[in-house]
Amino acid sequence: MSKSTYQDALSRLESTAAAAGTSPEVVESLRHPKSILSTTLSVRMDDGRMRYFPAYRCHYNNILGPSKGGIRFHPAVDQDEVTALALWMTIKCAVLGLPYGGGKGGVQVDPKRLTPMELERLSRHYMRSMADFIGPELDIPAPDVNTNARIMGWMLSEYEVIHKRRTPAVITGKPICLGGSEGREEATGRGAFHCVEALLKRIGRNASEMTVAIQGFGNAGQHIAQLLQDVGCTIVAISDSRGGIYSSSGFDTYSIAREKERSRIVRGVYCDKSVCEAVPHEQISNEELLALDVDLLIPAALDGVIHRGNADSVRADYILEVANGPVRADAEDILMNKGVVIVPDVLVNAGGVTVSYFEWVQNRQGYPWDLSTVRSRLESHMITAFDEVWNEAEQRRCTLRDAAYALALRRIELSMKSLGTQEYFQNGE
Ligand code: NAD
């Protein structure tokens, strides 16, 4: 039987903690999620039927601060996946040095099958069910797969009705006019882009010589595609849940984003003003995309897409994990033996939570920042974190993932030790 996503996340935590020499008491504490709220949302459909949707919220660990993590709407959401994602958030916030613990939430639903009014009722009901489990100093949600600023706005307004006060800092990724931050929507893609810039510097290569394949063309995938295209990378393949497109001469990702906005489909087109025309390309499957011979492979959709069964077919030199958990732990050795370098999710996609942190700070200060302030602070946070992870990996001759986990575990350990662990209570150390 294959491991669950959470078991996979735990085994990765345990092996990296062993290599980093983390105190057993700290590792043991990270084996146990702090609290999980599991419930069922009953939502009245437009045709009068009542439907029932499993919903979850997990506070994984809060030693460094309140829980922070997105809310995902997807048919594959379950408690196991939410818990794994919350563990990764714990590590991610610590890698970036943010004053947060890790959390995550989700609803098992295909939101594409709901009308806008059904989606609003579901989103408000989620917040109603979680209203005492969420709060600006307790747990601060944000968007994730299939959730967006409007949904965050609905949830915020529901929370404010229940608690009878304006509380913008309770949720991030909301519309700017409701207290959202400039630059939040692009933040995950932009943060990942800064990791590519820093990587290219370290490996001495130019953007213009890089070919790139991107799986997933949603919020994160579209922004990184456009930023990489702007600096001269050739984006040879793009996909979404329905499949992908390939062209060795590269795509104009702005045109493809425009066409996707119009038709909801990833098509190989070039748009001049309002006219879009097909460009020569091949249709490929998501599996074929993962096996393309490119310099940089960017999984930006769901977890577990690269596993023991297909890792051997990966031909990319570098994998940039924009999605959470796209490479299963059991695929990592295979990729390492092939010389594939993985830049890990807990670093790469941390731009989203970093600008969420900025949004929370702005809400608490009542003082919004302009876009250039957000962008320059994001760049500095991302480059600092990348350099810390890279230097750690060089010093310890380990993978970038092991280095990122080691840094995060050290920060968590320091906080736990300040309150006393077994070493202190037995030996006074
Ligand atoms: P999104 O919903 O905007 O986009 C997801 C994209 O993935 C869509 O294009 C969808 O069609 C595609 N997709 C879904 N299933 C697929 C499949 N089986 N094969 C190929 N493509 C598939 O979501 P997003 O916000 O861009 O998030 C993408 C990933 O990035 C997720 O793993 C998410 O956890 C991670 N992430 C997002 C943020 C953020 O701020 N948006 C922050 C950190 C991490």
pLDDT digits (tens, 9 = 90+) for 325-362: 999 988 999 999 999 999 999 999 999 999 999 999 99
State whether the beta carbon of 324 lies less than 6 angstroms from ligand 1.
yes
Q: Which of 292, 298, 303, 306 is nearest to 199 (CA)?
A: 298
Strand partners, 277: 270
> Rounded to an integer, what distance in angstroms lies between the CA atom of residue 92 and that of residue 35?
19
Cα dist. 212→171, 228, 250, 379, 392 in Å? Answer: 34, 9, 9, 22, 27
State the pLDDT at residue 1: 47
How far is the centre of ligand 1, averaged over its atoms, from the C-alpha of 278 (Å)? 25
State whether the beta carbon of 302 lies less than 6 angstroms from ligand 1.
yes
Q: Which of 144, 135, 319 is nearest to 220 (CA)?
A: 144
Strand blocks (E) in 48-195: 50-61, 67-74, 101-108, 139-143
What string of DSSP letters covers 66-94? SEEEEEEEETT--HHHHHHHHHHHHHHHH
Q: Which of 15, 169, 42 is nearest to 107 (CA)?
A: 42
Which residue from 241, 266, 319 has its CB within 8 A of the most atoms of ligand 1, so it is best to mutate?
241
How far is the centre of ligand 1, averaged over its atoms, from the C-alpha of 222 (Å)? 10
- Which residue carries 């939410």 as its tokens? 82
Dihedral over Cα of 391, 392, 398, 400: its sign = negative
Are 292 and 303 in contact by the 8 Å Cβ rule? The answer is no
**Number of the ligand 1 atom closest to the C-alpha atom of 345:** 44
417-424 CB contacts, 8 Å cutoff, 24+ apart: 417/23, 421/23, 421/25, 421/26, 422/25, 423/23, 423/25
Q: Which residues contact 346 (CB under 8 A, 6 or more apart)?
A: 88, 91, 92, 95, 401, 404, 405, 408
State the pLDDT at residue 2: 62
> Rounded to an integer, what distance in angstroms lies between the CA atom of residue 104 and that of residue 51?
23
Q: What phi, psi does 398 have (nearest 5°)?
A: -125, 175
Which residue from 68, 81, 145 has its CB within 8 A of the most atoms of ligand 1, so it is best to mutate?
145
> Rounded to an integer, what distance in angstroms lies between the CA atom of residue 175 and that of residue 148?
9
DSSP 169: G
Q: Which residues contact 257 (CB under 8 A, 6 or more apart)?
A: 217, 222, 225, 226
State the pLDDT at residue 251: 97
DSSP 31: T
> Rounded to an integer, what distance in angstroms lies between the CA atom of residue 59 and that of residue 174?
21
Average pLDDT of every residue of the chain: 96
How far is the centre of ligand 1, averaged over its atoms, from the C-alpha of 379 (Å)? 22
Q: Is 112 noted as a catalytic residue in this protein?
A: no
DSSP 113: G
Q: Which of 132, 183, 128, 123 is nearest to 153 (CA)?
A: 123
Q: 337 exposed, middle or buried (CB, 10 Å; 0-12, 13-18, 19+)?
A: exposed
Residue of the CA atom closest to atom 23 of ligand 1: 145
List of domains in the chain = 34-178 (3.40.50.10860), 183-429 (3.40.50.720)
Listed as ranges, residues in the chain with pLDDT below 70 are: 1-2, 429
State whether the beta carbon of 220 lies less than 6 angstroms from ligand 1.
yes
- Token pair belonging to 13: 């935590």
Residue of the CA atom closest to atom 40 of ligand 1: 352
DSSP 426: H
State the pLDDT at residue 427: 84
**Number of the ligand 1 atom closest to the C-alpha atom of 266:** 9
State the pLDDT at residue 19: 87
